């Protein structure tokens, strides 16, 4: 059988590095364009940094991808690279739009011109949905994002639809709900919670300070989602899929799960902004600070995941408490 080639944008990020590991196990050759001097710590942590199956290339601008696609004609293209922080997108909407939408469009145009048989996957986002829709939301439900990140992702998502429906490209949107792992950067609440809980249990110190702990998300485990994404690309027809668990957990649930992973008892006291958690000695271990609250952070959306159920017989989903435990134990181990 001929070796498959995958081009991954964003290979150094959480999803890119996890996918690279999965594809290496499946025998793919990987083309990995990065900026100069990228941080390859995720690839290092996964033990694949020196894999002979990964060919790293340096790109300077989005237009450099045209030559890369023309030369390699990848079997599959996974476009993960993005400005991925919803909160921060309010500060720099023009940059977010350029990276998340214009770059996707450049890639699609280049694929149709230079390698029309390549399959294309775009990491779309649950942030594209109207935020007051009844849950669970389905792929065809109304889109109306309320932050620059969601707006940029929706525009790119619609370009992917256009290239599939009008130009005939095998192009899929994976509408990814929040997905976490040991490789999440510190700006995401999962990493912030798990690393601070590990530190508090190990050596105490100042409390973990959070924003809206009542915010609820449909949270999944990234290594599970990567396998589903690969399956999406093996189907006969290109389609859009929610990649979700159809379950909601709050930020507070995550804090409880992280402490309980290390058998550390806490109890919650107070209300609203004064809510805090104390340990058995009466010391405050979690507090709230308004500076971490988001504008319009009221999206308690669950994703209907019926369409991906067909892939989940082979790839079961890790339960919430289990992956929070895994992330917390990993952080605890790093402190030793």
- Residue ranges binding ligand GDP (CB under 6 A): 86-87, 178, 187-190, 192, 210-212, 215, 217, 251, 292, 294, 297
Both tokens of 323, joined, read 């992956």
Shortest distance, CB of residue 43 to ligand GDP, whole angstroms? 22
Both tokens of 109, joined, read 């145009």
List C-alpha distances in Å: 241 to 107, 298, 306.
20, 23, 9
CA angle 234, 108, 164 (to 5 degrees): 55
| CB closer to ligand GDP, 156 vs 251 | 251
| CB closer to ligand GDP, 115 vs 196 | 196
Strand segments (E) across 68-145: 76-79, 119-125
| CB closer to ligand GDP, 143 vs 192 | 192
Both tokens of 43, joined, read 């690839």
Rounded Cα gap, residues 234 and 76, in angstroms: 9
Residue pair 207/275 in contact by the 8 Å Cβ criterion: no
CA angle 252, 297, 92 (to 5 degrees): 120
Shortest distance, CB of residue 89 to ligand GDP, whole angstroms? 9
Residue pair 137/188 in contact by the 8 Å Cβ criterion: no
| CB closer to ligand GDP, 118 vs 256 | 256
Shortest distance, CB of residue 248 to ligand GDP, whole angstroms? 11
Residue pair 39/12 in contact by the 8 Å Cβ criterion: yes
In the beta sheet, which residues pair with residue 196?
Answer: none
Shortest distance, CB of residue 236 to ligand GDP, whole angstroms? 32
Shortest distance, CB of residue 211 to ligand GDP, whole angstroms? 3
| CB closer to ligand GDP, 160 vs 210 | 210
| CB closer to ligand GDP, 33 vs 150 | 150
Shortest distance, CB of residue 244 to ligand GDP, whole angstroms? 13
Rounded Cα gap, residues 43 and 14, in angstroms: 9
């Amino acid at each position: 059988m001929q070796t498959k080639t995958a081009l991954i944008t964003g290979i150094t990020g959480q999803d890119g590095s996890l996918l690279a590991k999965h594809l290496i196990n499946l025998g793919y050759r990987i083309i990995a364009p990065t900026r100069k001097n990228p941080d390859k710590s995720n690839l290092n942590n996964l033990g694949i940094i020196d894999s002979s199956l990964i060919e790293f290339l340096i790109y300077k601008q989005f237009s450099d991808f045209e030559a890369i696609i023309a030369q390699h004609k990848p079997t599959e293209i996974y476009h993960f690279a993005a400005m991925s922080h919803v909160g921060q997108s309010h500060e720099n909407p023009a940059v977010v739009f350029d990276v998340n939408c214009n770059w996707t469009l450049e890639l699609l145009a280049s694929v149709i011109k230079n390698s029309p048989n390549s399959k294309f996957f775009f990491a779309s986002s649950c942030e594209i949905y109207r935020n007051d829709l009844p849950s669970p939301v389905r792929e065809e439900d109304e889109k109306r994002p309320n932050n620059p990140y969601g707006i940029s992702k929706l525009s790119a998502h619609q370009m992917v639809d256009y290239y599939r429906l009008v130009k005939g490209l095998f192009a899929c949107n994976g509408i990814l709900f929040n997905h976490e792992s040991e490789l999440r950067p510190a700006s995401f609440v999962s990493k912030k919670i798990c690393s601070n809980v590990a530190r508090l249990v190990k050596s105490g110190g100042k409390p973990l300070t959070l924003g809206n702990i009542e915010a609820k998300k449909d949270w999944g485990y990234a290594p599970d989602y990567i396998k589903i994404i690969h399956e999406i690309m093996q189907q006969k027809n290109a389609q859009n899929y929610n990649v979700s668990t159809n379950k909601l957990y709050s930020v507070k649930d995550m804090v409880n799960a992280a402490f309980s992973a290390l058998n550390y008892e806490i109890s919650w006291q107070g209300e609203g902004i004064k809510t805090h958690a104390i340990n058995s000695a009466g010391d405050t271990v979690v507090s709230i600070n308004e500076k971490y609250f988001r504008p319009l952070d009221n999206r308690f959306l669950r994703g209907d995941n019926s369409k991906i159920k067909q892939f989940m017989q082979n790839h079961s989903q890790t339960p919430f408490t289990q992956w929070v435990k895994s992330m917390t134990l990993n952080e605890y181990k790093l402190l030793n």
